[in-house]
Amino acid sequence: MARFRKPQPAFAGNRPGRPFEADALIWGIPTDCGAGTGRLGAKRGPRAVREASNIWNTVRTSSGFQFPDHGSVVDLGDVKLAETGRAEVVRRIAAAAPPVEPGRLNVMLGGDHSVTRHVLEAAGGRWGLIYVDAHPDCIDAYDGDRDSHACVLRRLVESGRVDPRRTVVLGMRAPEAEEVEWLARHRVEAITCWQIEKRGIEAACRRAMQVAGRGRVYLSIDMDTLEAASVPGVENPEPGGITAREALWAMDFFGGRVDAADLVEVSGEADPAGITAKTAARMLLDLIGAHIQAKDAKSRKGRRAK
Protein backbone atom coordinates (compact mmCIF):
# COMPACT_ATOMS: atom_id res chain seq x y z
CA MET A 1 0.00 0.00 0.00
CA ALA A 2 1.32 3.42 -0.93
CA ARG A 3 2.11 5.35 2.21
CA PHE A 4 1.81 8.80 0.65
CA ARG A 5 -0.98 10.64 -1.09
CA LYS A 6 0.26 12.61 -4.10
CA PRO A 7 0.53 16.34 -3.37
CA GLN A 8 -1.99 18.56 -5.19
CA PRO A 9 -0.20 20.83 -5.94
CA ALA A 10 3.40 19.87 -5.14
CA PHE A 11 5.55 22.26 -3.10
CA ALA A 12 6.87 25.15 -5.24
CA GLY A 13 5.80 23.41 -8.44
CA ASN A 14 8.68 20.97 -8.17
CA ARG A 15 8.86 18.19 -10.67
CA PRO A 16 8.57 14.64 -9.49
CA GLY A 17 11.97 13.10 -9.08
CA ARG A 18 13.75 10.26 -7.43
CA PRO A 19 13.60 10.98 -3.71
CA PHE A 20 16.94 9.40 -3.01
CA GLU A 21 18.80 11.70 -5.36
CA ALA A 22 17.15 14.86 -4.04
CA ASP A 23 18.88 17.67 -2.14
CA ALA A 24 15.75 18.17 -0.09
CA LEU A 25 12.66 16.10 0.65
CA ILE A 26 9.30 17.54 1.61
CA TRP A 27 6.55 15.47 3.15
CA GLY A 28 3.35 16.35 4.98
CA ILE A 29 1.43 15.05 7.98
CA PRO A 30 -2.06 16.55 7.73
CA THR A 31 -3.44 16.00 11.20
CA ASP A 32 -4.92 17.79 14.20
CA CYS A 33 -4.51 14.71 16.39
CA GLY A 34 -2.54 16.48 19.14
CA ALA A 35 -4.22 19.87 18.89
CA GLY A 36 -7.08 21.28 20.93
CA THR A 37 -5.54 24.04 23.06
CA GLY A 38 -6.90 26.70 20.69
CA ARG A 39 -8.33 26.84 17.19
CA LEU A 40 -8.11 23.83 14.91
CA GLY A 41 -7.21 23.54 11.23
CA ALA A 42 -3.56 22.39 11.24
CA LYS A 43 -4.55 19.30 9.28
CA ARG A 44 -5.12 21.59 6.32
CA GLY A 45 -1.71 23.20 6.83
CA PRO A 46 0.30 21.14 4.31
CA ARG A 47 -2.13 21.92 1.51
CA ALA A 48 -2.33 25.63 2.39
CA VAL A 49 1.48 25.97 2.43
CA ARG A 50 1.90 24.07 -0.85
CA GLU A 51 -0.72 26.28 -2.52
CA ALA A 52 0.95 29.42 -1.17
CA SER A 53 4.32 28.21 -2.46
CA ASN A 54 2.94 28.19 -5.98
CA ILE A 55 1.97 31.86 -6.22
CA TRP A 56 5.36 33.11 -7.37
CA ASN A 57 6.43 32.95 -11.00
CA THR A 58 9.90 31.78 -10.17
CA VAL A 59 10.96 29.71 -7.22
CA ARG A 60 13.54 31.77 -5.42
CA THR A 61 14.73 32.66 -1.97
CA SER A 62 14.45 36.13 -0.42
CA SER A 63 17.97 36.84 -1.73
CA GLY A 64 17.07 35.83 -5.29
CA PHE A 65 18.72 32.40 -5.43
CA GLN A 66 16.74 30.18 -7.82
CA PHE A 67 17.31 26.75 -6.46
CA PRO A 68 15.50 24.48 -8.89
CA ASP A 69 18.36 25.18 -11.32
CA HIS A 70 20.94 24.19 -8.74
CA GLY A 71 19.37 21.37 -6.82
CA SER A 72 16.40 19.13 -6.66
CA VAL A 73 13.51 19.16 -4.23
CA VAL A 74 11.16 16.21 -4.13
CA ASP A 75 7.71 16.49 -2.58
CA LEU A 76 6.63 13.03 -1.45
CA GLY A 77 3.10 14.21 -0.65
CA ASP A 78 1.13 13.63 2.53
CA VAL A 79 1.22 10.57 4.72
CA LYS A 80 -2.08 8.73 4.24
CA LEU A 81 -3.83 8.99 7.57
CA ALA A 82 -6.88 7.32 8.97
CA GLU A 83 -9.50 9.80 10.15
CA THR A 84 -9.89 7.99 13.43
CA GLY A 85 -7.53 7.19 16.22
CA ARG A 86 -4.25 8.74 17.20
CA ALA A 87 -2.53 5.37 17.61
CA GLU A 88 -3.11 4.60 13.94
CA VAL A 89 -1.83 8.06 12.95
CA VAL A 90 1.37 7.44 14.91
CA ARG A 91 1.78 3.99 13.35
CA ARG A 92 1.41 5.42 9.84
CA ILE A 93 3.91 8.18 10.49
CA ALA A 94 6.43 5.60 11.70
CA ALA A 95 5.87 3.48 8.59
CA ALA A 96 6.14 6.38 6.15
CA ALA A 97 8.87 8.61 7.63
CA PRO A 98 11.70 8.90 5.10
CA PRO A 99 15.15 8.29 6.59
CA VAL A 100 17.30 11.32 7.36
CA GLU A 101 20.46 11.10 5.30
CA PRO A 102 23.55 13.29 5.16
CA GLY A 103 23.28 16.12 2.65
CA ARG A 104 19.56 15.66 2.07
CA LEU A 105 17.47 18.12 4.06
CA ASN A 106 14.38 16.37 5.35
CA VAL A 107 11.45 18.79 5.76
CA MET A 108 8.14 17.76 7.28
CA LEU A 109 5.03 19.93 6.93
CA GLY A 110 2.55 19.66 9.81
CA GLY A 111 0.03 19.21 11.15
CA ASP A 112 -0.15 20.26 14.76
CA HIS A 113 3.09 20.26 16.76
CA SER A 114 2.51 16.82 18.32
CA VAL A 115 3.72 15.18 15.09
CA THR A 116 7.29 16.41 15.68
CA ARG A 117 7.61 13.87 18.43
CA HIS A 118 6.48 10.97 16.24
CA VAL A 119 8.83 12.03 13.44
CA LEU A 120 11.83 12.12 15.78
CA GLU A 121 10.85 8.80 17.36
CA ALA A 122 10.68 7.29 13.88
CA ALA A 123 14.10 8.75 13.00
CA GLY A 124 15.76 7.12 16.02
CA GLY A 125 19.11 8.11 17.50
CA ARG A 126 19.76 11.10 19.73
CA TRP A 127 19.31 14.64 18.51
CA GLY A 128 20.17 18.24 19.21
CA LEU A 129 16.96 20.27 18.92
CA ILE A 130 16.29 23.88 18.01
CA TYR A 131 12.69 24.39 19.05
CA VAL A 132 11.40 27.61 17.52
CA ASP A 133 8.17 28.29 19.38
CA ALA A 134 6.36 30.92 21.45
CA HIS A 135 5.63 28.10 23.91
CA PRO A 136 8.17 25.57 25.21
CA ASP A 137 5.57 22.76 24.98
CA CYS A 138 6.76 21.02 28.14
CA ILE A 139 3.74 20.78 30.39
CA ASP A 140 3.21 17.26 31.72
CA ALA A 141 -0.36 16.93 30.43
CA TYR A 142 -2.97 19.17 28.88
CA ASP A 143 -6.46 18.29 30.14
CA GLY A 144 -5.11 14.86 31.00
CA ASP A 145 -3.61 14.38 27.54
CA ARG A 146 0.13 13.60 27.61
CA ASP A 147 0.35 13.46 23.81
CA SER A 148 -0.97 16.98 23.31
CA HIS A 149 1.04 19.44 21.24
CA ALA A 150 1.66 21.26 24.53
CA CYS A 151 3.78 18.33 25.83
CA VAL A 152 6.08 17.55 22.88
CA LEU A 153 9.41 18.74 24.24
CA ARG A 154 8.92 17.05 27.59
CA ARG A 155 8.10 13.67 26.00
CA LEU A 156 11.11 13.91 23.67
CA VAL A 157 13.49 14.54 26.57
CA GLU A 158 11.88 11.73 28.62
CA SER A 159 12.27 9.19 25.81
CA GLY A 160 15.91 10.19 25.34
CA ARG A 161 15.35 11.06 21.70
CA VAL A 162 16.63 14.58 22.26
CA ASP A 163 19.49 15.64 24.49
CA PRO A 164 18.31 18.41 26.86
CA ARG A 165 21.85 19.84 26.96
CA ARG A 166 21.68 20.19 23.18
CA THR A 167 18.17 21.64 23.11
CA VAL A 168 17.24 25.28 22.86
CA VAL A 169 13.85 26.98 22.69
CA LEU A 170 14.06 30.02 20.44
CA GLY A 171 11.53 32.86 20.45
CA MET A 172 9.77 31.90 23.69
CA ARG A 173 7.37 34.35 25.30
CA ALA A 174 4.36 32.62 26.79
CA PRO A 175 5.42 29.76 29.05
CA GLU A 176 3.36 28.35 31.93
CA ALA A 177 4.95 28.49 35.41
CA GLU A 178 5.24 24.69 35.32
CA GLU A 179 7.25 24.98 32.10
CA VAL A 180 9.67 27.60 33.42
CA GLU A 181 10.40 25.27 36.33
CA TRP A 182 10.83 22.21 34.05
CA LEU A 183 13.20 24.05 31.68
CA ALA A 184 15.38 25.13 34.61
CA ARG A 185 15.40 21.65 36.16
CA HIS A 186 16.49 20.05 32.89
CA ARG A 187 18.83 22.92 32.03
CA VAL A 188 17.16 23.47 28.69
CA GLU A 189 18.17 26.88 27.41
CA ALA A 190 15.40 29.23 26.26
CA ILE A 191 16.03 32.39 24.27
CA THR A 192 13.08 34.70 24.74
CA CYS A 193 11.76 37.28 22.29
CA TRP A 194 13.00 40.01 24.66
CA GLN A 195 16.53 38.59 24.41
CA ILE A 196 16.25 38.45 20.63
CA GLU A 197 15.14 42.08 20.66
CA LYS A 198 18.17 43.01 22.75
CA ARG A 199 20.90 40.83 21.19
CA GLY A 200 19.62 40.60 17.63
CA ILE A 201 18.46 37.60 15.62
CA GLU A 202 21.96 36.73 14.42
CA ALA A 203 23.42 36.35 17.92
CA ALA A 204 20.35 34.36 18.97
CA CYS A 205 20.62 31.95 16.04
CA ARG A 206 24.38 31.52 16.52
CA ARG A 207 23.83 30.73 20.19
CA ALA A 208 21.09 28.19 19.30
CA MET A 209 23.42 26.44 16.88
CA GLN A 210 26.24 26.46 19.43
CA VAL A 211 23.96 24.70 21.93
CA ALA A 212 22.46 22.17 19.51
CA GLY A 213 25.52 21.39 17.35
CA ARG A 214 28.01 18.51 17.69
CA GLY A 215 25.79 15.77 16.30
CA ARG A 216 22.60 15.68 14.29
CA VAL A 217 20.40 18.75 14.63
CA TYR A 218 16.64 18.96 14.16
CA LEU A 219 14.95 22.34 13.62
CA SER A 220 11.29 22.46 14.60
CA ILE A 221 9.39 25.60 13.66
CA ASP A 222 6.05 26.38 15.24
CA MET A 223 4.66 29.30 13.23
CA ASP A 224 3.29 30.89 16.41
CA THR A 225 6.85 32.07 17.20
CA LEU A 226 6.20 34.89 14.78
CA GLU A 227 4.40 38.05 15.80
CA ALA A 228 0.68 37.27 15.84
CA ALA A 229 0.01 40.01 13.28
CA SER A 230 2.04 38.14 10.62
CA VAL A 231 0.60 34.75 11.48
CA PRO A 232 -3.09 35.15 12.29
CA GLY A 233 -3.68 31.60 11.06
CA VAL A 234 -2.13 29.55 13.84
CA GLU A 235 -3.87 27.65 16.59
CA ASN A 236 -2.56 29.88 19.41
CA PRO A 237 -1.48 33.34 18.14
CA GLU A 238 0.79 35.17 20.64
CA PRO A 239 1.50 38.89 20.38
CA GLY A 240 5.10 40.06 20.71
CA GLY A 241 6.84 37.53 18.50
CA ILE A 242 9.72 37.73 16.05
CA THR A 243 9.09 39.53 12.78
CA ALA A 244 8.72 37.76 9.44
CA ARG A 245 12.02 39.38 8.43
CA GLU A 246 13.79 37.87 11.45
CA ALA A 247 12.21 34.50 10.70
CA LEU A 248 13.49 34.63 7.11
CA TRP A 249 16.95 35.60 8.33
CA ALA A 250 16.90 32.60 10.66
CA MET A 251 15.91 30.25 7.80
CA ASP A 252 18.81 31.51 5.74
CA PHE A 253 21.14 30.87 8.68
CA PHE A 254 19.87 27.41 9.64
CA GLY A 255 19.31 26.01 6.13
CA GLY A 256 22.91 24.94 5.61
CA ARG A 257 23.43 23.82 9.20
CA VAL A 258 20.63 21.45 10.24
CA ASP A 259 19.89 17.86 9.13
CA ALA A 260 16.12 17.84 9.32
CA ALA A 261 13.35 20.32 9.94
CA ASP A 262 9.65 20.74 10.27
CA LEU A 263 7.19 23.59 10.04
CA VAL A 264 3.96 23.11 11.96
CA GLU A 265 0.76 24.74 13.20
CA VAL A 266 -0.33 26.58 10.06
CA SER A 267 -4.09 26.47 10.27
CA GLY A 268 -5.69 26.11 6.90
CA GLU A 269 -8.93 27.46 8.35
CA ALA A 270 -8.08 30.48 10.47
CA ASP A 271 -5.88 32.28 7.94
CA PRO A 272 -8.11 35.03 6.55
CA ALA A 273 -5.77 36.56 3.93
CA GLY A 274 -3.66 33.46 3.44
CA ILE A 275 -0.72 35.40 4.88
CA THR A 276 0.30 32.73 7.38
CA ALA A 277 0.63 30.09 4.66
CA LYS A 278 2.46 32.54 2.41
CA THR A 279 4.94 33.43 5.16
CA ALA A 280 5.47 29.72 5.87
CA ALA A 281 6.06 28.96 2.19
CA ARG A 282 8.61 31.78 1.92
CA MET A 283 10.38 30.53 5.05
CA LEU A 284 10.65 27.03 3.59
CA LEU A 285 11.97 28.35 0.27
CA ASP A 286 14.67 30.23 2.19
CA LEU A 287 15.49 27.24 4.38
CA ILE A 288 15.81 24.84 1.43
CA GLY A 289 17.56 27.43 -0.74
CA ALA A 290 20.17 28.03 1.96
CA HIS A 291 20.73 24.29 2.28
CA ILE A 292 21.30 23.93 -1.47
CA GLN A 293 23.57 26.99 -1.60
CA ALA A 294 25.68 25.61 1.25
CA LYS A 295 25.90 22.24 -0.49
CA ASP A 296 26.91 23.96 -3.76
CA ALA A 297 29.61 25.95 -2.00
CA LYS A 298 30.95 22.84 -0.29
CA SER A 299 31.21 20.85 -3.52
CA ARG A 300 32.92 23.77 -5.32
CA LYS A 301 35.44 23.96 -2.49
CA GLY A 302 35.96 20.19 -2.73
CA ARG A 303 36.61 20.45 -6.48
CA ARG A 304 39.12 23.26 -6.01
CA ALA A 305 41.02 21.25 -3.40
CA LYS A 306 41.59 18.37 -5.83
Size of residue set near Mn ion by CB under 5 A? 4
CB nearer to Mn ion: give 60 or 173.
173
CB nearer to Mn ion: give 137 or 179.
137
One-letter amino acid for residue 111 of the chain: G
Contact string (CB under 5 A) for Mn ion, positions 103-142, x = contact = ----------x-------------------x---x-----
d(CA 125, CA 76): 23
CB nearer to Mn ion: give 61 or 276.
276
Which residues between 137 and 176 bind Mn ion (CB under 5 A)?
137
Question: How far out from the chain centre does Cα 10 lie?
Answer: 18
Task: Write down the least CB distance from residue 291 to Mn ion, Å.
Answer: 23
User: Among residues 15, 67, 85, which one has the least CA distance to residue 293?
Assistant: 67
Q: What is the largest CA-CA distance in the chain?
A: 60
CB nearer to Mn ion: give 28 or 136.
136
d(CA 22, CA 59): 16
- Interface stretch with Mn ion, choices 101-109, 119-127, 154-162, 214-222 (CB under 5 A): 214-222
Task: Write down the least CB distance from residue 223 to Mn ion, Å.
Answer: 9
68: cis peptide before it, omega within 30°? no
Per DSSP, the chain holds a count of helices (H) and strands (E) of: 9, 9
CB nearer to Mn ion: give 7 or 136.
136
What secondary structure does DSSP assign to 58-69, as a single string?
Answer: S---TT---GGG
Which residues between 215 and 254 bind Mn ion (CB under 5 A)?
222
Alpha helices, H only, the chain: 45-52, 86-96, 114-123, 152-159, 177-185, 193-199, 201-212, 244-254, 275-305
Q: What strands, in cross-sheet order, belong to the sheet with 127-132?
A: 4-5, 73-79, 24-29, 105-110, 260-264, 217-222, 127-132, 162-172, 189-192
Task: Write down the least CB distance from residue 37 to Mn ion, Å.
Answer: 9
Task: Write down the least CB distance from residue 292 to Mn ion, Å.
Answer: 27
What count of other Cβ atoms lies within 10 Å of the Cβ of residue 102?
6
CB nearer to Mn ion: give 264 or 284.
264
Task: Write down the least CB distance from residue 157 to Mn ion, Å.
Answer: 15
CB nearer to Mn ion: give 150 or 284.
150
- Residues lying near Mn ion in the complex (CB under 5 A): 113, 133, 137, 222
